[in-house]
């Protein structure tokens, strides 16, 4: 792929008028190769169909899939193009969305408040650097669904564990289970490269089962050594419409010898609130079986107090966008503090994700967060390594 291009544009906006307006503005700047999509899903279809966009201009306020969720999907696909956010909302929401996108390691040029002017676009495009010039962590291998299917057969998916500790005394409260693919050639593959694919192609359930079974086995062996940890598993919203899932998780834990009362299910806020009607039954069933419910990536889904009250959550995890750098970003801090406040009123345990250094730690502790998860304490680790880590951490 040549890195020359600032040529291909994709405009995502639900308003026909805005789409043609932005297209005209780009045309006036001599950019003729402009595709448009009326919503996030259409834009993803265009990109999944092999079209390349050097720059995506994306409206934040769209029905169905809002701009924030769209960004998450772009991140999951390791999108390398540049992004310009457009919104009629006030500056603060744009800024927060911008920092969220950066946390996802997307290449954000900046944001524009409507109305969109040629000058505003021009200024942002001047900051454009082609993907090759943007440092990337690794050359991401491309996987297809057949690779995932083969990996399932070969039993290559496994759980990694990242500790959650108490802000009060740093004691270990539990761990989050994070999916990894131990690939014979590519080594450890992070979930962003296979979870969205598995979700799209209907393989997320068997993959989750494979990871879950191994996690329960590890959890029960730690319990036998006298370390009763809470384990949190990520469950895709797609799986919650399956009415048998609560029973399956409960049995899976029991059969492995892991106390289901120490099991927690994490569901992502933004996806959940869209599908609440079809998932509420499963959520209630999980609670009836004594399994905890945690609302994940909180702050990215704009849930209302009313919506939150309808779901029997026990824990709220604040997205790392509002933790990372909160000590120097007043907007992120405001969201962090209001999330903690909301959680307290709903009697939920608060967990801050993505605490990377002492400044972050002090900030979330001051905000009143009860637990912390992040590189500052430890990175996610394979089961053996996590067992060793526990021993040295508790000694030290």
> Annotated active-site positions, please?
353
Pick out residues in 195-234 that bind Ca ion (CB under 5 A): 234
In terms of DSSP bridges, do strands 55-59 and 82-87 run parallel, antiparallel, or are they unpaired? Answer: parallel
Q: Which does 191 bind (CB under 5 to 8 A by kind): Ca ion, ligand C2E, none?
A: ligand C2E
Tokens of residue 227, six digits: 């370390």
Our finding on whether 385 is near ligand C2E (CB under 6 A) is: no
Task: Find which of Ca ion, ligand C2E, none residue 354 binds, CB within 5 to 8 Å per kind.
Answer: ligand C2E
The neighbouring-strand residues paired with 293 are 265
Stretch that binds Ca ion, among 18-26, 64-72, 78-86, 292-300 (CB under 5 A): 292-300
Q: Which does 311 bind (CB under 5 to 8 A by kind): ligand C2E, Ca ion, none?
A: none
Which residue among 36, 87, 107, 208 contacts ligand C2E (CB under 6 A)? 208
Interacting positions 214-273 with ligand C2E (CB under 6 A): 234, 236
Instruction: Tell me which residues in 234-253 interact with Ca ion (CB under 5 A).
Output: 234
Distance of CA 235 to the CA centre of its chain: 12
Contact between residue 303 and residue 322 where contact means Cβ atoms under 8 Å apart? no
266 lies in the site for Ca ion, by CB under 5 A:
yes
Please choose, out of 17-25, 27-35, 83-91, 184-192, the segment that lies near ligand C2E by the rule CB under 6 A.
184-192
Kindly identify the residues of this chain, within the stretch 336-355, that bind Ca ion according to CB under 5 A.
353
Smallest separation, CB 294 to ligand C2E (Å): 10
User: Which one of residues 62, 125, 165, 195 is an interface residue with ligand C2E (CB under 6 A)?
Assistant: 195
State the minimum distance, in angstroms, from the CB of residue 228 to Ca ion. 21
Considering only 161, 271, 374, 389, the residue that binds ligand C2E (CB under 6 A) is 374
Binding mask 127-166 toward ligand C2E (x if CB under 6 A, else -) reads -----------------------------------x----
How far is residue 196's CA from residue 71's CA, in Å, rounded to a whole number?
A: 13
Q: Pick from 40, 81, 174, 191 the residue near ligand C2E by CB under 6 A.
A: 191
Provide, rounded to whole angstroms, the least separation between the CB of residue 129 and ligand C2E: 22
Out of 83, 120, 151, 211, the only residue in the binding site for ligand C2E (CB under 6 A) is: 211
Residue (162 or 339) nearer to ligand C2E, CB: 162
Neighbours of 133 (CB within 10 A): 9
What mask, x for binding ligand C2E by CB under 6 A, covers residues 291 to 320? Answer: -----xx----------------------x
First to last CA, the chain: 50
Per CB under 5 A, does 297 bind Ca ion?
Answer: yes
Residues of span 1-60 touching ligand C2E by CB under 6 A: none
296 binds Ca ion (CB under 5 A): yes
Is 206 among the residues that bind ligand C2E (CB under 6 A)?
no
DSSP notation for 245-311 = HHHHHHHHHHHHT--GGGEEEEEEHHHHHHSHHHHHHHHHHHHHTT-EEEEEEETSS---HHHHHHS
DSSP 34-95: EEEESSHHHHHHHHHTT---SEEEEES--SSS-HHHHHHHHHHTT--SEEEEEESS-HHHHH
Shortest spacing between CB 211 and ligand C2E, in angstroms: 5
Query: How far apart, in whole angstroms, are the C-alpha atoms of residue 72 and residue 300?
Result: 10
In the complex, what is the shortest distance from the CB of residue 148 to Ca ion, in angstroms, rounded to a whole number? 20
- Ramachandran angles phi, psi of 352, nearest 5°: -95, 125
* C-alpha to C-alpha distance for 44 and 325, rounded to whole angstroms: 30
Q: In sequence order, which residues have a C-beta less than 8 Å from that of residue 336 and are 6 or more positions away?
A: 299, 318, 322, 323, 326, 352, 363, 364, 367, 369
Among 356, 359, 362, 368, interactor with ligand C2E by CB under 6 A: 356
| Residues ≥6 apart with Cβ < 8 Å to 200 | none
Residue 111: phi and psi, rounded to 5, are -130, 155
Instruction: Write down the residue that tokens 């998932």 correspond to.
Output: 279
- Residue holding tokens 């448009």? 36
> What whole-number distance in Å separates Cα of residue 73 and Cα of residue 197?
11
Instruction: Catalog residues that contact Ca ion under the rule CB under 5 A.
Output: 234, 266, 296-297, 353
Instruction: Catalog residues that contact ligand C2E under the rule CB under 6 A.
Output: 162, 178-179, 190-192, 195, 208, 211, 234, 236, 296-297, 320, 353-356, 373-375, 380
């Amino acid at each position: 792929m040549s890195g020359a291009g600032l040529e291909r544009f994709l405009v995502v906006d639900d308003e026909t008028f805005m789409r043609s307006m932005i297209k005209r503005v780009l045309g006036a700047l001599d950019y003729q190769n402009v595709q448009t999509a009326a919503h996030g899903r259409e834009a993803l279809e265009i990109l999944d169909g092999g079209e390349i966009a050097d720059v995506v201009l994306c409206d934040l306020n769209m029905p169905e899939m809002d701009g924030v969720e769209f960004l998450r999907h772009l991140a999951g696909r390791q999108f390398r193009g540049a992004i310009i956010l457009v919104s009629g909302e006030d500056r603060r929401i744009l800024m927060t969305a911008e920092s969220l996108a950066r946390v996802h390691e997307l290449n954000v040029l900046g944001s524009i408040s409507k109305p969109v002017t040629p000058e505003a676009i021009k200024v942002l495009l001047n900051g454009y650097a082609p993907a090759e010039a943007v440092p990337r962590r690794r050359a991401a291998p491309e996987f297809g669904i057949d690779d995932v299917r083969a990996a399932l057969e070969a039993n290559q998916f496994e759980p990694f564990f990242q500790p959650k500790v108490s802000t009060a005394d740093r004691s270990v409260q539990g761990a989050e289970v994070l999916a990894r693919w131990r690939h014979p050639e590519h080594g450890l593959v992070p979930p962003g490269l296979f979870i969205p694919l598995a979700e799209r192609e209907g393989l997320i359930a068997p993959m989750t089962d494979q990871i879950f079974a191994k996690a329960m086995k590890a959890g029960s062996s730690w319990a036998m050594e006298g370390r009763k940890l809470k384990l949190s598993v990520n469950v895709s919203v797609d799986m919650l419409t399956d009415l048998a899932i609560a029973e399956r998780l409960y049995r899976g834990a029991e059969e492995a010898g892991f106390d289901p009362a120490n099991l927690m299910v994490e569901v992502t806020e933004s996806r959940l609130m869209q599908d609440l009607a079809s998932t509420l039954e499963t959520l209630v069933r999980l609670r009836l079986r004594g399994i905890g419910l945690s609302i994940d990536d909180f702050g990215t889904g704009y849930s209302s107090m009313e919506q939150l009250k309808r779901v029997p959550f026990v824990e709220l995890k604040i997205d790392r966008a509002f933790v990372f750098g909160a000590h120097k970003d007043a907007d992120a801090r405001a969201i962090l503090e209001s999330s903690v406040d909301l959680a307290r009123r709903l009697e939920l345990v608060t967990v801050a994700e993505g605490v990377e250094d002492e400044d972050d730690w002090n900030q979330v502790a001051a905000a009143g967060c009860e637990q912390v998860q992040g590189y500052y304490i430890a990175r996610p680790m394979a089961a053996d390594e996590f067992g060793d880590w526990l021993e040295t951490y508790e000694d030290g």
